[in-house]
Amino acid sequence: MALYTMKELLQDAQQKKYGIGFFDTFNTDMVQAVIRAAEDCNSPVIIGTAEALLKYCPFEVIMPAMLEAARQAKVPVAVHLDHGYSYDVVMQALRWGCGSVMYDGTREKDHADNVRISAQLARICHAMGVGLECELGSVGGLSDETGKEDQTAYTDPEDARRFIEQTGADFLAVSIGTQHGVYKAEPKLDLNRLAEIHAAVDVPLVLHGGSGLSDDDFRNTIAGGIRKINVFTDVILAAKEIIHADANEAYADAMLRAQDAMKEATAVKLRLFGSAGRG
Ligand code: 13P
C-alpha cells in the first residue's frame, strides 16, 4: 500500500460519511501500534507528531520511521503534523515530507494574525501539494511552554465560513465542547453548533480531544460532519497501565505488552469511527 495524503483519505471519508482516526506518536512503539491496529481492522489511518512532542523524539527520528512504516503498511496511511505553532516547525514538517500539516494559530495575539499566517501557509502548502489544517475557536486542555493551559472557546459558524474563505485552509478543527487530555467533567458536545458549522463550510471538519468521549459522541459528531478525529491520551493511558502494573517485568517485555495495549486502544476507535473494513 502506498503512502497516502490526508486529503485523499478525508475525501473518501467525506463522500461516504465516516470518520478517520489521527494518532500522535513519539516513538516507534506507537507508530507500530497504530499501524498494526489499522491493519488488523483493515482501516485507513493518519499518524503524526506534534510540535510539543518533538522534545521526546525529533523530526529526524520520527519522520523517517513514520514515512517508512506508512509505505510498508498493508492499509492506506497518511503522515501529518499536528499542532504546529511556529512557522519554522511547519516548514520543517513540509521538508520532511508530511502530506499535510496543522498550523494552530489559536495562540496568536489576535484573530487577524491567525488569518494572515494561515493564509500565507495555505499558499505555501498548496504550491507543494500539501493540505493545511487550521483551528478556529480553541479546543482547550493543551499547555504552552510556560505551562499556561489553552482555554476553550467555541467555534462560531459564521466566523468559520469567513476563515475558510480568507485563508484557503483545507481542513478545519472545530471547538464544540471537546478538550485535550483527561476530562474533568463529562463532556457535553454542542451538536447544533456542529450542524451550523457543517452547513457553513464545505471542507472536512476535525474533532480534537477524541479521548474520553462516548460511543454516542462519535456517532453523533460523525453524523454531524466530523471526518477526522484526533486521539492521543487514551492510547498513552493504555500503555501507562501496562508499564506501571509490574515493576519487575523486563523492560523489553513491558514495551511489547504496552505496544499491544496501544494497538487495542487504537483499534477500538477505528471500529467506532466506521473506517474499519475500508482499507
Ligand atoms: P486527546 O489527547 O484528548 O485524545 O486529544 C488528542 C488531540 O486532539 C491531538 O491533537
Backbone angles phi and psi of 128, in degrees to 5 = -100, 5
Query: If you write DSSP's letter for every residue of the chain in order, what string do you get?
Result: --EE-HHHHHHHHHHHT--EEEEE-SSHHHHHHHHHHHHHTT--EEEEEEGGGTTTS-HHHHHHHHHHHHHH-SS-EEEEEEEE-SHHHHHHHHHHT-SEEEE--TTSSSHHHHHHHHHHHHHHHHHTT-EEEEEESB----B-TT-PBPPPBPPPHHHHHHHHHHH--SEEEE-SS--SSS-SS-----HHHHHHHHHH--SPEEE---TT--HHHHHHHHHTTEEEEEE-HHHHHHHHHHHHH-TTS-HHHHHHHHHHHHHHHHHHHHHHHT-TT--
**Among 238, 251, 246, which Cα is nearest to 212's?**
238
Look up residue 133 and give its amino acid.
Answer: E
Instruction: State how far the Cα of 20 lies from the Cα of 226, in Å rounded to an integer.
Output: 9
Answer yes or no: is the C-beta of 208 below 6 A from any ligand 1 atom: yes
Residue among 6, 30, 180, 213 to mutate when testing ligand 1 (max atoms within 8 A of CB): 180
Distance from Cα 20 to the centre of ligand 1, integer Å: 14
Question: 219: which 3 cell numbers?
Answer: 456517532
Catalytic residues: 82
Answer yes or no: is the C-beta of 232 below 6 A from any ligand 1 atom: yes
The pLDDT of residue 2 is 82
Question: Does residue 98 contact residue 59 with C-beta atoms inside 8 Å?
Answer: no
Question: Does residue 99 contact residue 131 with C-beta atoms inside 8 Å?
Answer: yes
The pLDDT of residue 114 is 96
**Among 238, 221, 242, which Cα is nearest to 17's?**
221
Distance from Cα 234 to the centre of ligand 1, integer Å: 9
The pLDDT of residue 236 is 98
Would you say the pTM of this structure is higher than 0.95?
yes
Residue among 230, 235, 273 to mutate when testing ligand 1 (max atoms within 8 A of CB): 230
Residues with Cβ within 8 Å of residue 112, at least 6 apart in sequence? none
R_g of the chain, CA atoms, integer Å? 18
The pLDDT of residue 150 is 86
Residues with Cβ within 8 Å of residue 75, at least 6 apart in sequence? 1, 35, 38, 39, 42, 43, 44, 45, 279
Instruction: State how far the Cα of 193 lies from the Cα of 153, in Å rounded to an integer.
Output: 12
Locate the ligand 1 atom nearest the alpha carbon of residue 83 and give its number: 10
Distance from Cα 248 to the centre of ligand 1, integer Å: 31
Distance from Cα 239 to the centre of ligand 1, integer Å: 16
Q: Which residue has the cell 475558510?
A: 164
Answer yes or no: is the C-beta of 181 below 6 A from any ligand 1 atom: yes
Q: What is the pLDDT along the chain (279 residues), one digit of tens a residue?
A: 689 999 999 999 999 999 999 999 999 999 999 999 999 999 999 999 999 999 999 999 999 999 999 999 999 999 999 999 999 999 999 999 999 999 999 999 899 999 999 999 999 999 999 999 999 999 998 888 888 888 899 999 999 999 999 999 999 999 999 999 999 889 999 999 999 999 999 999 999 999 999 999 999 999 999 999 999 999 999 999 999 999 999 999 999 999 999 999 999 999 999 999 999
Locate the ligand 1 atom nearest the alpha carbon of residue 179 and give its number: 3
The pLDDT of residue 144 is 86
Answer yes or no: is the C-beta of 209 below 6 A from any ligand 1 atom: yes
The residue count of the chain comes to 279
The pLDDT of residue 163 is 98
Locate the ligand 1 atom nearest the alpha carbon of residue 182 and give its number: 3
Answer yes or no: is the C-beta of 137 below 6 A from any ligand 1 atom: no
The pLDDT of residue 147 is 86
Burial class (CB in 10 A: 0-12, 13-18, 19+), 250: exposed
Q: How many CB atoms lie within 10 A of CB 41?
A: 23
